[in-house]
Amino acid sequence: LNNISIQQSPKGIIILGSTGSVGTQALEVIRDNPAIFKVSVLSALKNSELLIQQAKEFKPEAVVICDESKYLEVKTALSSFDIKVLAGEDALSEVAVYPQGDIVLTALMGSVGLKPTMAAIKAGKNIALANKETLVVAGELVTQLAIENQVKILPVDSEHSAIFQCLVGEEQNEIEKIYLTASGGPFLGKNKDFLATVKKEQALKHPNWVMGAKITIDSASLMNKGLEVIEAKWLFGLDVAQIDVIVHPQSIVHSIVQFTDGSMKAQMGVPDMKLPIQYAINYPDRLKNNFKRFNFLDYPNFSFQKADMETFRNLELAFQSLRKGGNMPCILNAANEIVVEAFLNDKIGFLEMSDVIERCMEEINFVENPQLDDYLETDKHSRILAAELVTKNIF
């Protein structure tokens, strides 16, 4: 490291979604490195209690509570602090462009991340992207906008962080293909008869990663991997045929790049989201930490196997949506958000989630070259149809 890179003042981090799993882990990283990072903005969907607690500790310029009914509670609790309090989803786009913020960590859940991410990119802010739905819904639009504004999109998703880290120093070289690793989730090896009867309590028990409910269900159904395939296409400019999924139940190899000479690079480590988070927000420098180190003797065997896309149809549907292109991944994602919510509320079975998504992909109007408005329309229509199918029990 050269001596010119001495940090002048801490890097301002705008956290969209600070009370979720990634948000709280990002705050742990920031808490451990006060000379390097400071919090510029915190935001929460509805967890006002935790948001208030975080705001008192990290003293950001502003906080956003998306649930407007909780505005007064937050405002009152922070009245003795010099912190601006905003409410409503639209406020996310407002704080995403705050001049005090150097980087925006998008740790929101679902397609609600799209608009604030685009606003931040237009304002020239680098994005630490944990909200994969943004690229799933409108990957082409968002990556193009990032290029136009010379903004970096730094992946926080562990697989994409792995690929990204493997590509450092390889700027001149072409990727032949990538392998996204998948743990297989709690239902690895199970058949359809078993899956037909599973309940959310079983699906919420992920073997390796501790995450929010939505992504944990997506991991159990392999939709998470499907969304990650789409995310990878846009992040790394790949064709669908260059992206493969390989099940690796130990979750130590986080993903693999294969170059045109057949050489492969993998990034490995103990599964801990704090590592990709800190790599993204401190890129290009690595930060020292005391996280648990990998011990080979704990893992005498690594294994790899084919992903079972016949049983876990969501992964196949995601590949299909990407091959079709246009607004198809947006349809898939919106329908998925609805069916996951329905599954979590015991309104729909595990396998029926795929049936609803497939119906939406068949019935929602296909748009080959969508613009932002088309994506927003598609997102809305797909949600309405999916909810209708769930309510009426038609798949």
Binding residues for Mn ion, rule: CB under 5 A, are 157-159
Between 71 and 236, whose beta carbon lies closer to Mn ion?
236
| 314 contacts 336 by C-beta, under 8 angstroms | yes
Q: Shortest gap between Cβ of 365 and Mn ion (angstroms)?
A: 31
Q: Shortest gap between Cβ of 228 and Mn ion (angstroms)?
A: 6
Between 157 and 358, whose beta carbon lies closer to Mn ion?
157
Print burial letters for 173-197: b (CB count within 10 Å at least 16), e (below 16).
eebebbbbbbbbbbbbebeeeebee
Taking CB atoms, the residue at the shortest distance from Mn ion is 157
DSSP symbol at 207: S
Identify the CA nearest to 63 among candidates 40, 47, 79, 46.
40
Identify the CA nearest to 131 among candidates 37, 52, 255, 234.
234
Identify the CA nearest to 255 among candidates 185, 317, 167.
167
Q: Shortest gap between Cβ of 108 and Mn ion (angstroms)?
A: 16
Between 157 and 352, whose beta carbon lies closer to Mn ion?
157
Between 159 and 308, whose beta carbon lies closer to Mn ion?
159
Q: Shortest gap between Cβ of 269 and Mn ion (angstroms)?
A: 13
What is the SS3 string spanning 6-74?
Answer: CCCCCEEEEEECCCCHHHHHHHHHHHHCCCCEEEEEEEECCCHHHHHHHHHHHCCCEEEECCHHHHHHH
What is the residue type of 27? L
Between 226 and 370, whose beta carbon lies closer to Mn ion?
226
Q: Shortest gap between Cβ of 211 and Mn ion (angstroms)?
A: 9
Between 115 and 132, whose beta carbon lies closer to Mn ion?
132
For residue 338, give Cα distances in angstroms to 20, 85, 110, 132, 322. Answer: 19, 30, 10, 16, 20
Q: Shortest gap between Cβ of 252 and Mn ion (angstroms)?
A: 14
